Structure 1
Amino acid sequence: MGSPAAEAPRDPGLQPERTRLAWRRTTLTYTVVAVLAGRQVLRDEVTAAGVAAAVASALVWLAFLWVAHRRMTALDTPEPHRLPTGAGIAAVVCVICLAAFGVTVL
C-alpha cells in the first residue's frame, strides 16, 4: 500500500499566489527605497560618492526586478519549482547592496 502523497498529485492551493504577492510587495518596497535615495541626491548637497551610490542602487534595483520577474513568472506554472539558489542569493545581495547604498547617500 503506497503512501497518500505518492498517489495524489500535489495541490499547491493558494501558496503560489501568496508567494507572488509577497514578491510584488517586496519589489514595491524596494522601488520606494530606490526612489527616495534618488530624491535625496536631487534635493540635498551630496558628495560624488552619494551620487555614485544612487546610480549603483538604480542598477541593483534593475537586477532585483529581473530576479523578481523571473520568480513571479515561474510561479505561474501549474507546478512551480523551488527558487533556485543563485536567484535567492542574488535577491539577498541586491537588498544588502541597497541598504549599503542608502547609508552612503545619507
Structure 2
Amino acid sequence: MNRDPGAQPERTRLAWRRTTLAFALVVALAVRGAATADEGRAAAGALVAGTALLWVAFLVLAHRRIQALAARRPRPAGGTVPLAAAVVAAAALCAAALLAGPW
C-alpha cells in the first residue's frame, strides 16, 4: 500500500491548531475563574496574565511548526516540540496555582 506523503503533515498541522484552540479555552476559563474570585484578585489576575503570555508563546511555536510543515519536505520538529511541552507544563502550573489559591 502506498503512503500519501501529504497526509501526515496535514494531520500534524491540524493537531497543532486543535491544541492551540484548546489552550485558548484554558486561558478563557482562567479569566472566568479570576473574574469570579472574591479575594486575591490581583494574584489571580497575575496568574491569568502569565497564562495568556504562555498561550502567545505557544501560538508562536505552533505557527513556526505549521510553517515548517508547509515545506515540500518538512524538516524534523527540532526544539519546537520540547519548547511547546515546557510552555504547556508552565501553564499547568499556573492552573494549579489558580485552583489552590485562596480566591
Q: Under a length normalisation based on structure 1, what TM-score does the superposition of the two structures give?
A: 0.83
Gaps of 5+ in 1: 1-10
Tell me how far apart the structure 2 counterparts of residues 68 and 60 of structure 1 sit (CA, whole Å). 12
1:21 corresponds in structure 2 to 14
Tell me how far apart the structure 2 counterparts of residues 43 and 98 of structure 1 sit (CA, whole Å). 20
**Two-structure CA RMSD over aligned residues (Å):** 1.6
Tell me how far apart the structure 2 counterparts of residues 76 and 98 of structure 1 sit (CA, whole Å). 28
**TM-aligned CA deviation for residue 104 of structure 1:** 1.4
Counterpart amino acid of 1:91? A
Counterpart amino acid of 2:84? A
**TM-aligned CA deviation for residue 45 of structure 1:** 2.1
Gaps of 5+ in 2: none
**TM-aligned CA deviation for residue 103 of structure 1:** 1.4
**TM-aligned CA deviation for residue 46 of structure 1:** 4.5
Q: Under a length normalisation based on structure 2, what TM-score does the superposition of the two structures give?
A: 0.85
Q: Does 1:87 align with 2:80?
A: yes
Q: Which has the larger radius of gyration?
A: 1
Q: In the comparison of the two structures, how many residue pairs are matched? A: 96
**TM-aligned CA deviation for residue 12 of structure 1:** 1.9
